[in-house]
Amino acid sequence: MNPVKVQAGKDAFESFFGKACEAEGISIPSGVPDQPLGDEETYRGALNRARGAKEARPEADFWVGIEGGIALNRGEMETFAWMVVLGKHGQGHARTAGFFLPPRVAELVQQGYELGDADDIVFGASNSKQKTGALGLLTRDVLTRHELYKPAIIMALIPFKNPELYFHE
């Protein structure tokens, strides 16, 4: 239901396929902790969301799952997101670029806060995860969560433009 995720998906599909589309956000449990740790757990959350969307709206043409996660990398906390796109006859997936969180935000996440909540505390923001996200807060909106997600969704759609290269009978 996150409006940033819904809009990024809509914009990515319209850019990729060159035509207007409808996008609907639905609340699907990720099946992973609220703050996934590592690539595998984060990917699994995105896949679970895409599969749940397919079950909830079987009449759609595509189903997208998006899950943001964190990883400890060289002693710092990195954040990123996985995108999974399911189609009627295949699947695509891609990961966003990652970036490193400031120590104070990372400390709060390690204490059990979800990243969006930690950002709100450190930056004095409100519901930042449904706005520009950590990236927007840290870059002062030079780059936002929407702009991070859109290209990754487009990359997850690559197999659907090239089915002969990705999907085998």
- pLDDT tens digits, one per residue of 119-148: 999 999 999 999 999 999 999 999 999 999
**Are the C-beta atoms of 136 and 128 separated by less than 8 Å?**
yes
Instruction: For residues 39-47, give the mean pLDDT.
Output: 98
Tens of pLDDT, residue by residue over 80-107, are 999 999 999 999 999 999 999 999 999 9
CATH 3.30.70.20 fits 3-162, yes or no: no
Instruction: For residues 42-71, give the mean pLDDT.
Output: 98
Q: What is the mean pLDDT of the chain?
A: 96
Q: What's the confidence (pLDDT) of residue 169?
A: 64
Q: What's the confidence (pLDDT) of residue 27?
A: 95
Q: Is 168's pLDDT higher than 90? A: no
DSSP assignments along 79-132, one per residue = EEEEEEEEETTEEEEEE---EEPPHHHHHHHHTT--HHHHHHHHHT-SSGGGTT
pLDDT band at 151 (very low <50, low <70, confident <90, very high): very high
Q: Is 48's pLDDT higher than 90? A: yes
Q: Is 156's pLDDT higher than 90? A: yes
Q: How far is CA 133 from CA 105, 120, 126, 140, 157, in A?
A: 13, 9, 10, 10, 23
Task: Give start and end residues of each alpha helix (H) in 18-64.
Answer: 38-56
pLDDT-above-90 percentage for the chain: 98
> Which tokens hold the place of 130?
């449904």
| Cα–Cα distance for residue pair 88/82, rounded to 1 Å | 20
Residue reference for tokens 């959350």: 45
Query: What letter would DSSP give residue 167?
Result: -
| Cα–Cα distance for residue pair 129/136, rounded to 1 Å | 10
Instruction: For residues 110-123, give the mean pLDDT.
Output: 96
Q: What's the confidence (pLDDT) of residue 1?
A: 87
